[in-house]
Amino acid sequence: MDDRLNNRIRQELSLTDDILLVCHMRPDGDAIGSLIGLGLALETAGKTVRMVSVDGIASNFKFLAGYKKIKQTIGENFNLVIAIDCSDIQRTGLEKEIGDKPIINIDHHITNDHYGLINYVDSKAAATAEIIAENLPHWGLALDIDIASALLTGIITDTIGFRTSNVTSRTLHLAADLMSFGIDISEIYMHALINRSIEAVRYWGAGLNKLHQIDSLVWTSLTLEDQKKTGYSGKDDADLINILSSIEGINISIIFIEQPGGGVKVSWRAQPGYDVSQLAMEFGGGGHPAAAGAMFDKQLEEVQEIVIRETRKILINNKHS
Ligand code: AMP
Ligand code: MN
Ligand code: MN
């Protein structure tokens, strides 16, 4: 907790009534949970809030109260922007629209470039929702069951059910406090983490069929053809990366996802002791030491060749250190 930052945020909020709240493109549970959680809390405090996710919201988060308030485009009147779970302003997909409006940047990515007027960046937090849950009262905002449920969804999804290495006793204490609003935690697990469409599981199958391994590195690709074959309509990996990173003896896993508009999305996961965030950042992306991503404007084969070569260097360097 940072008292100086909290006072600045509280003061900035008191100066404005019209707020644009934005999360990152292709939003995950932390982005959506934080957006709804903070958005509802600001509304309760009497603010006019526009909650924006340029890519909308996946159906597995539509159990959250208030999800219908999420818009894909910005409104006209806003005096303050709060960007959530975004390591750089481009991640909002609204860089031009935001222009030079003041920004409060709330995030937990180590690769955050501090693009805001106020930057509450805590890379020790397991989720942006954890930062929000911890600090809402210090920003003069109150919690209720809907807000707590959205924030707990953010924490549970970003930690894959409290099992990533950045989970601390603070994470669990905050989760317990959120639960005490009367939340059914198993409902959150089922909706946000466990339930999968049959298409998503077939899509996993397509990726698993092509699994490659060199030493402690595994990777696979998901092509537009795989999407067509299986009927999966997302632009993501349907969290297949979590299966890859659970393979025993594997230190780094990578998935290459061909994108409908051209280009390839790359997702990395690493075991403790390995850092994939810096490499992702060198390629214009970002993330955490253990989970990072980047977008490439090249063909699949070329991206695979470059990324595998550079990722192997991390494994080799770590071996010698
Ligand atoms: P993903 O592999 O998409 O699940 O992302 C893993 C982590 O890296 C998340 O914390 C993302 O926010 C971050 N990330 C993914 N893609 C990008 C990107 N293009 N730029 C910055 N951060 C990213
Ligand atoms: Mn996120
Ligand atoms: Mn996050």
Helices 145-158 and 169-179, packing angle to 10 deg: 150
Q: Which domain holds residue 305?
A: 199-320
Q: Is the CB of 154 under 6 A from ligand 1?
A: no
Residue 53 pLDDT > 90:
yes
Q: Which of 194, 211, 243 is the last residue of a domain?
A: 194
Q: Identify whether residues 276 and 177 lie together within a single domain.
A: no
Q: Which atom of ligand 1 is nearest to the CA of 255?
A: 2
Q: Identify whether residues 26 and 141 lie together within a single domain.
A: yes
Q: Identify whether residues 38 and 98 lie together within a single domain.
A: yes
CA 159 / ligand 1 centre spacing (Å): 14
Q: Identify whether residues 297 and 159 lie together within a single domain.
A: no
Q: Identify whether residues 125 and 21 lie together within a single domain.
A: yes
Predicted local distance difference test score (pLDDT) of residue 234: 87
Residue 319 pLDDT > 70:
no
CATH of the domain at 243: 3.10.310.30
Ligand approaching nearest to the C-alpha of 159: 3
Ligand approaching nearest to the C-alpha of 155: 3
Q: Identify whether residues 132 and 170 lie together within a single domain.
A: yes
Q: Identify whether residues 49 and 181 lie together within a single domain.
A: yes
CA 114 / ligand 3 centre spacing (Å): 16
Q: Is the CB of 27 under 6 A from ligand 1?
A: no
CATH of the domain at 88: 3.90.1640.10
Q: Identify whether residues 142 and 224 lie together within a single domain.
A: no
Q: Identify whether residues 162 and 66 lie together within a single domain.
A: yes
Per-residue confidence band for 238, with pLDDT thresholds at 50, 70 and 90:
very high
Strands (DSSP E) found in the chain: 18-22, 48-52, 70-71, 80-84, 103-107, 118-121, 212-214, 217-222, 252-258, 264-270, 286-288, 291-296
Q: Identify whether residues 83 and 182 lie together within a single domain.
A: yes
Q: Which of 194, 227, 252 is the last residue of a domain?
A: 194
Q: Which residue has the tokens 């896993």?
A: 253
Q: Which of 157, 178, 194 is the last residue of a domain?
A: 194
Nearest CA to ligand 1 atom 10: 287
Q: Identify whether residues 121 and 221 lie together within a single domain.
A: no
Tokens found for residue 64: 């959250």
H helix or E strand, kind and range, residue 308? helix 300-320
Residue 229 pLDDT > 90:
yes
Q: How many domains does the chain contain in total?
A: 2
Q: Identify whether residues 178 and 304 lie together within a single domain.
A: no
Q: Are 118 and 8 in contact (CB under 8 A)?
A: yes
Q: Is the CB of 288 under 6 A from ligand 1?
A: yes
Q: Is the CB of 87 under 6 A from ligand 1?
A: yes
What's the pLDDT tens digit per position in 70-108?
A: 999 998 889 999 999 999 999 999 999 999 999 999 999
CA distances from 28 to 182, 193, 237 (A): 24, 11, 12
CB count within 10 Å of CB 96 equals 6
Q: Is the CB of 50 under 6 A from ligand 1?
A: no
Predicted local distance difference test score (pLDDT) of residue 13: 97
Nearest CA to ligand 1 atom 11: 287
**Percentage with pLDDT > 90 across the chain:** 96
Predicted local distance difference test score (pLDDT) of residue 82: 98
Q: Is the CB of 267 under 6 A from ligand 1?
A: yes
Q: Is the CB of 287 under 6 A from ligand 1?
A: yes
**Percentage with pLDDT > 70 across the chain:** 99
